[in-house]
Amino acid sequence: MTLDLEMAEIAKVFFQESREGLDVMESGLLSLGAAADSENINTIFRAAHSIKGGSATFGFAEVAGFTHGVETLLDEMRNGVRPVTAEAIQTLLQACDCLREMIAATEAEQPLDQVRIASLNGDIKHILGEASEAPAPVSAPALAAANEAADAGTAGEPGGWRVRFEPVADLLRLRNEPTRMFAELRRLGAMVAHADASRLPPLDALDPESCYLSWDIDITGQIPRGKLDEIFDWVDSGCRLEFTPTGRSAPAAPAPGAKASAQPQAAAIDAWSAETKAVSPTEAKAAASADADRGAPAGAAVQKASGDSGSIRVATEKVDNIINLVGELLITQSMLSSFADGIDPNDLDRLRQGLSQLARNTRELQESVMQIRMLPISFAFNRFPRIVHDLSRKLAKKVELKLSGEGTELDKTVLEKITDPLVHLVRNALDHGLEIPERRVAAGKRETGTLELAAFHEGGNIIIEVRDDGAGLNKAKILQKARERALVAPDQELTDEQIDNLIFMPGFSTAEQISDVSGRGVGMDVVRRNINDLGGHVQISSKEGLGSTIRIRLPLTLAILDGQLVRVGKEIYVISLLAIVETIQVARERLNTLVGRTEVFRLRDEYLPVVKLCDQFGVEPDSRSAEDGLLVVLEADGKRVGVLVDDLLAQQQVVIKSLESNFKSVAGIAGATILGDGTVALIIDAPGLISSAAEQGVGAAAAHAA
Amino acid sequence: MSTAKPTSGADKAAAESSEQYLTFMLAGEEYGVDILRVQEIKGWDKVTRIPHTPDYVLGVINLRGAVVPILDLRRRFGLETIAFGPTTVVIVVRVMSGRDERTVGVVVDAVSEVYNVDAADTKPPPDVCGNVDTVFVKALVTIEEKMLILLDIDRLIGNSIADELVPGAAVA
């Protein structure tokens, strides 16, 4: 079947929808294992049904045939005829995979994996054949086969078809248009239609919206049966359709009357459409509302079936374009504001007013545009039930997967890039973290291990945690390995946390046996690099025998941040407002110097280290003394520090520009931005600053406590 | 990347045809860079300093929305520094650093001329070549009784940045 361009476009949508449908089926099937409620089966069934319907429409007979078998099985489950067994679920899951491949192959116009299809078809038939002699599953592929046979068979003969088409009276209300179907048929070959008006009632009893005509259609040419099916596909329910192949001589028989009879047919159709037009307005309205009544639930069903939360598909490119424009707009706006600050005539008020409105509009526009890119993390989480299901079977482990915070939204780019690292972490947790049931029982734990994936907001970040209650990291082994590989100096003392985080070093893997699941030693460092590339951080904490928690912190978005401008000497830096807890002036009596070096200050009940930006960044400040400046209290990963600056300036939204694109990444700097006066200001990497300062501070604070 | 292509094409064509070089002055010597790599020449303007960078990285500027680093070539070559004067200019060049193309500004004493250099006239650099480490020198050429030092800016600037990547990553 050759698709013309328009069809190719629609087919693309079908492929996309089929994939989504398969995702729905898969997640439904996985949750079936726990509870076989009929609503769930219904959802799966509907998804399968849509795929079947769509693939038949587009003439992908093999996909349709295969899905039919799946659908039959699901239908029987839905009706309670068939028990929901683990075996059936497994087969259906495999069928989903197979369908995914079939759809991919069809889209790429490549041959299908017939062996796999046949074997799965056999499996499905086997399940179906056990308790019922339902002919449907057998007939479905058979039907497809027959269609193909017909396709192949008719290819050689120049015959034709006689089609008897008796539509239901509702045909027109179901929004089918026979004239259009005739036009389609005419494209296939020479067509002659005989209208049969015998069912036509007297004019006063005639309902203008009903279809009373039926047709005998003779069509000549080498036409595969499949083509005819396609045309009548939408009307076949309830309509009587008969296809009779006609031989070489057959078309000749009605030929003499052909021209003559075509005219009356056309006339009949014209007359009938004229009647339709003649409907009185009230009647039309009534009919329309009836249509609407019928339409509404149907529409609802469609929406439900696609399992979609009313999303639209937008090309990322377009959105990116808008985001860039909004970024420029922001720069212009801040340029205007700084211009307004510089001049002083009296009508400045109106300019200021206009500017504040511009600022508000810009901000709103930016927020709504950014929202377009935000997707719930369930897009990444959804694949895990399947991965865990398959892997735990393979590794003979019992695992319960808990997901939470699936609705947490994050930037599409971040989401796409975080998926692979997450898969890696989950596989690692299953392979290395969780133990086999016997060992768990021996350790006095529940036989079934728990793997938790949680996403939530914390400050301006998204936190994703992968928690398992497995064996935890073997610190001694890690340290030994790290020393063997000279990643750690022999005499170097490390904290437990530092040891755990050694697994993120390049070329580190403690797996004694390299499995195909994990353990090639290229994993965790790549995970960390990917996350760092996204501006995020990853950390692991682990208790031997109790399990591990991997914590990923990601920025909400990569493009714009709410910044606080601070001044140190002549330099201006930007700090993300989300990292700032408060800003304080500190009196001398609340400042202490510990161990002669680290300065700390008391904030309520806490001692926090003072980070002097002037020392960190080597700039000349107004004053080095913490009591003269301001301390900006920053928080990240539960740690707080006070950053000493000379002055606080404006708060404004800044567009994040990468330093790496023309230079390289710099410790303590998250990026750069362009201020209203056109100069570049550096954006401070608050988490980086805090963790490096906290490391120095922890020792000091401990010393102070002692 | 697209802008790099004509350049590499020009490199190939160098064997039979001449190349144009923009020359500039630095501590009394004249250096040349492939003119196809030069994006623009602008006056010296204030930069935003970047911490944890070598002294020859003066900082970054806003070049029509892009954040572009500015390197001081005198410091890069370890020459005596001078106060920036009216002839001090920033030559904005495109360099290859690793697989990426970067836009970088270099501060020089003054721009000089544009010369056509015939590839046949160039000589490989001797072991010692003016004030410059010879690995950064592509070739020497004598034009109008003057010696020009043709620089390999990918090595000189691209590597200046890339070299720093390694210790920078270790700190992070």
B51 touches chain A (CB under 8 A): yes
Buried b (16+ CB within 10 A) or exposed e, A510-525: beeeeeeebbebebbb
Both A9 and A143 in one domain: the answer is: yes
Work out the average pLDDT over A341-368. 74
Residue that terminates a domain, selected from A494, A528, A555 = A555
Of A616, A679, A688, the CB nearest to B46: A679
Both A406 and A278 in one domain: the answer is: no
**Kind and range of the H or E run holding A453:** strand A449-458
pLDDT of residue A293: 40
Residue A187 in any domain: the answer is yes
B126 touches chain A (CB under 8 A): no
Q: How confident is the model at residue B162 (pLDDT cuts 50, 70, 90)?
A: low
Both A148 and A181 in one domain: the answer is: no
Residue of A356 and A261 predicted with greater confidence: A356
B165 touches chain A (CB under 8 A): yes
B11 touches chain A (CB under 8 A): no
Residue of A110 and B58 predicted with greater confidence: B58
Q: How far is B92 from B104, CA to CA, in rounded Å?
A: 6
Per-residue pLDDT at A614 exceeds 90: no
Mean pLDDT over each residue of chain A, to the nearest integer:
74
Both A132 and A15 in one domain: the answer is: yes
Q: Among A241-250, A287-296, A583-592, B85-94, name the one with the lowest average pLDDT.
A: A287-296
Q: How confident is the model at residue A356 (pLDDT cuts 50, 70, 90)?
A: confident
CB proximity under 8 Å: A 231-290 to B: none
Q: Do B49 and A662 touch (CB under 8 A)?
A: no
B8 touches chain A (CB under 8 A): no
B106: distance to nearest CA of chain A, Å?
A: 13
Distance between start and end Cα atoms, chain A: 81
Phi, psi of A512, rounded to the nearest 5 degrees: -70, -35
Top-confidence range, A178-182, A464-468, A558-562: A464-468
For residue A17, the domain's CATH number is 1.20.120.160
| pLDDT per residue as tens digits for the range A188-206 | 777 777 777 777 777 777 7
Work out the average pLDDT over A14-23. 83
Q: Do B51 and A617 touch (CB under 8 A)?
A: yes
CA distances from residue A337 to A343, B45, B91 in whole angstroms, order as listed: 11, 23, 32
Q: How far is A535 from A685, CA to CA, in rounded Å?
A: 9
Phi, psi of B56, rounded to the nearest 5 degrees: -75, -10
Residue that terminates a domain, selected from A235, A264, A283 = A283
Neighbouring residues of A19: CB distance < 8 A, sequence distance ≥ 6: A100, A103
Both A59 and A83 in one domain: the answer is: yes
Map out the domains of chain B as residue ranges: 4-162
Give me the DSSP letters along B94-115: EEEETTEEEEEEEEESEEEEEE
Both A460 and A384 in one domain: the answer is: yes
For residue A577, the domain's CATH number is 2.40.50.180
Q: How confident is the model at residue B21 (pLDDT cuts 50, 70, 90)?
A: very high
Residue A565 in any domain: the answer is yes
Residue of A98 and A352 predicted with greater confidence: A98
Per-residue pLDDT at A521 exceeds 50: no
B87: distance to nearest CA of chain A, Å?
A: 22
Both A406 and A528 in one domain: the answer is: yes
A330 touches chain B (CB under 8 A): no
Q: How confident is the model at residue A344 (pLDDT cuts 50, 70, 90)?
A: low
B106 touches B91 (CB < 8 A): yes
Q: Among A50-64, A299-313, B40-54, name the one with the lowest average pLDDT.
A: A299-313
Of A532, A667, A681, the CB nearest to B52: A667
CA distances from residue A99 to A58, A109, A145, A230 in whole angstroms, order as listed: 15, 15, 18, 21
- In the block, residue with structure tokens 């587009």: A58
Both A169 and A48 in one domain: the answer is: no
Percentage above 90 pLDDT, chain B: 31
Residue of A391 and A251 predicted with greater confidence: A391
Both A389 and A518 in one domain: the answer is: yes
pLDDT of residue A671: 87
Q: Among A37-51, A227-241, A521-535, B24-38, name the one with the lowest average pLDDT.
A: A227-241
Burial class of residue A25 (count of CB atoms within 10 Å of its CB; 0-12, 13-18, 19+): buried
Residue A294 in any domain: the answer is no
Residue A288 in any domain: the answer is no
Residue A611 in any domain: the answer is yes
- Interface probe with A: pick from B62, B68, B71, B163, most Cβ of A within 10 Å: B62
Q: How confident is the model at residue A431 (pLDDT cuts 50, 70, 90)?
A: confident
Per-residue pLDDT at A704 exceeds 60: no
Residue A522 in any domain: the answer is yes
Residue of A86 and B117 predicted with greater confidence: B117
Per-residue pLDDT at A176 exceeds 80: no
Residue of A625 and B21 predicted with greater confidence: B21
A672 touches chain B (CB under 8 A): yes
Q: How confident is the model at residue B71 (pLDDT cuts 50, 70, 90)?
A: very high
Q: Do A616 and B48 touch (CB under 8 A)?
A: no
Q: How far is B140 from B149, CA to CA, in rounded Å?
A: 5
pLDDT of residue A223: 73
Q: Give the structural domain span for A242.
A: 157-283
Q: How far is A41 from A51, CA to CA, in rounded Å?
A: 15
| pLDDT per residue as tens digits for the range A691-700 | 777 665 544 4
Q: Do B67 and A616 touch (CB under 8 A)?
A: no
Work out the average pLDDT over A225-242. 69
CB proximity under 8 Å: B 89-118 to A: 102-104
Both A456 and A388 in one domain: the answer is: yes
CB proximity under 8 Å: A 519-538 to B: 532
- Interface probe with B: pick from A611, A664, A674, most Cβ of B within 10 Å: A664
pLDDT of residue A486: 76
Burial class of residue B85 (count of CB atoms within 10 Å of its CB; 0-12, 13-18, 19+): exposed
Q: Do B69 and A667 touch (CB under 8 A)?
A: no
Q: Do A663 and B161 touch (CB under 8 A)?
A: yes
Of B48, B66, B169, the CB nearest to A681: B48
Interface A-B, measured as beta-carbon pairs within 8 A, has a size of: 80
Top-confidence range, A140-149, A339-348, A503-512, B41-50: B41-50
Per-residue pLDDT at A499 exceeds 90: no
pLDDT of residue A256: 40
Helix/strand/coil for A560: strand
What is the tally of structural domains in chain A?
A: 5
pLDDT of residue A235: 66
A667 touches chain B (CB under 8 A): yes
| pLDDT per residue as tens digits for the range B102-111 | 899 999 999 9
Per-residue pLDDT at A153 exceeds 70: no
pLDDT of residue A460: 66
Both A251 and A171 in one domain: the answer is: yes
Architecture of the domain defined by B4-162: Beta Barrel (2.40)
Q: Do B60 and A661 touch (CB under 8 A)?
A: no
Q: How confident is the model at residue A184 (pLDDT cuts 50, 70, 90)?
A: confident
Of B51, B61, B104, the CB nearest to A680: B61
Helix/strand/coil for A199: coil
Percentage above 90 pLDDT, chain A: 7
Q: How many residues does chain A have?
A: 706
Q: Do A666 and B169 touch (CB under 8 A)?
A: no
A642 touches A598 (CB < 8 A): no
Both A371 and A409 in one domain: the answer is: no
Q: Do B62 and A680 touch (CB under 8 A)?
A: yes
A323 touches chain B (CB under 8 A): no
| Single-letter amino acid code for the residue at B94 | R
| Chain A, nearest residue to B93 by Cα | A662
